Each structure stands twice: as C-alpha cells, then as structure tokens.
Amino acid sequence: MSNYRVYALPLNPEPWKVGHAYVVRSSGQPKARIAPDATLQTYQNAVRDELTLQGVELLPGDYSLYFSFSRQLASYTSAEGRTSTRNASDATNMQKATEDALQGVLIGNDRDVVRVGSVIVDQGPAVSPFVIIQIKFGLTEEDSSKMDDVPPELMDEAINRMIAIEKEREQARNSQQVWEF
C-alpha cells in the first residue's frame, strides 16, 4: 500500500488570520484575549467534516504536504455603484489555515510536517472554489523525498554561503573599536 494520498475538497479556502482582540479583568487586572476568527473556524470545521465524510484515517507522521487552492472572492457594489472585489489572500495564510484543520483528523500534529508547499491555482469572483491536499506520510530519516526538489549541491551552496556570512558578521563584530575612558 502506498504512503501517498490525495484529497479534493469542494470548499472555498480561507486564510489564517487573528481574531478579535478584547480585554477582560481577572483578579482585578486587565488581561488581553483574542477570540478565534469565526470565518476561519467555520472553514477549518468544514475541512474536518469533508475529510471525515471522505473516510480519512489519522496517518502516521512524519508528513510532506502540498496544497492547491482555488479561491472564490466576494464581489460587492459600493454605495457609489462601483463593483469591487476584496479578500484576496496569499498561499501561505491559506496553507496555514488548512494545515491547522488537518490536526487530529488526517495528521497527528503539524509539528510533524517536515515539508510543505502550496499554490494558488485561481483566485477571483468567477472561479470554482476547491482545495486539493496531497500528503505523503510515514516519512523516515532515510526518505529522500523530504528534500527531493532541491539538488544537494544547491543545498550545500546555500549552507556554505550562510556560514560565510556568519563568519563575516562575527569578524565585523570583533573588529569594532571599543573606546575605554
């Protein structure tokens, strides 16, 4: 049996966002709180429900995830009669919202995701919304698929460049004059 699954969900993806902030008093002291965003919660519950309807099982980690999003945007007419579209989102925030929804349904914990990627296939008022989830699970230390898109020589080059930059910064810090009085 393969350790690769693909799920297509007929849902309009929503981005991750912070909820409404408010202040409460606890023992006479003000405490800041943030309420969950209602639209985000509704979307995440819909992801869980749809996956449950498709008969998913909790898969063993570690995981590699890839998301494809098609997002229908709300269109409205302003008081001046102009038609506007709003709520365009970036792939990263839709990815985070969807990944969080998978916890406890498809994946154990998002800390076990060792590789993740996403693409916005389409976004606009006239698109058909969907979310496609590709998951590879049960990855091991020997599983080269964690980094198979990055040629090893490019990874080595990037790491060596980072080390050289850190050495230059350290030398610059050490060579700064210190004035003593």
pLDDT at 148: 52
pLDDT at 26: 84
pLDDT at 1: 54
Alpha-carbon Rg for the chain in angstroms: 23
Domain boundaries, the chain: 4-142
Which stretches of the chain score pLDDT less than 70? Answer: 1, 143-166, 169, 177-181
In residues, how long is the chain? 181
Residue 106: other Cβ atoms inside 10 A: 24
pLDDT at 20: 81
pLDDT at 113: 94
CATH of domain 4-142: 3.30.1330.70
Integer Cα distance of 106 and 74 in angstroms = 29
Per-residue pLDDT tens over the stretch 131-181: 999 898 998 877 645 545 544 565 465 565 556 666 776 788 787 755 554
- Whether the model clears a pTM of 0.75, i.e. scores above it, the answer is no
Integer Cα distance of 64 and 60 in angstroms = 11
pLDDT at 40: 95
Integer Cα distance of 169 and 176 in angstroms = 11
pLDDT at 48: 97
* CA dihedral (59, 61, 66, 67) positive or negative: positive
State the pairing for strand pair 83-86/74-77: antiparallel
Task: Check: CB of residue 70 under 8 Å from CB of residue 128.
Answer: yes
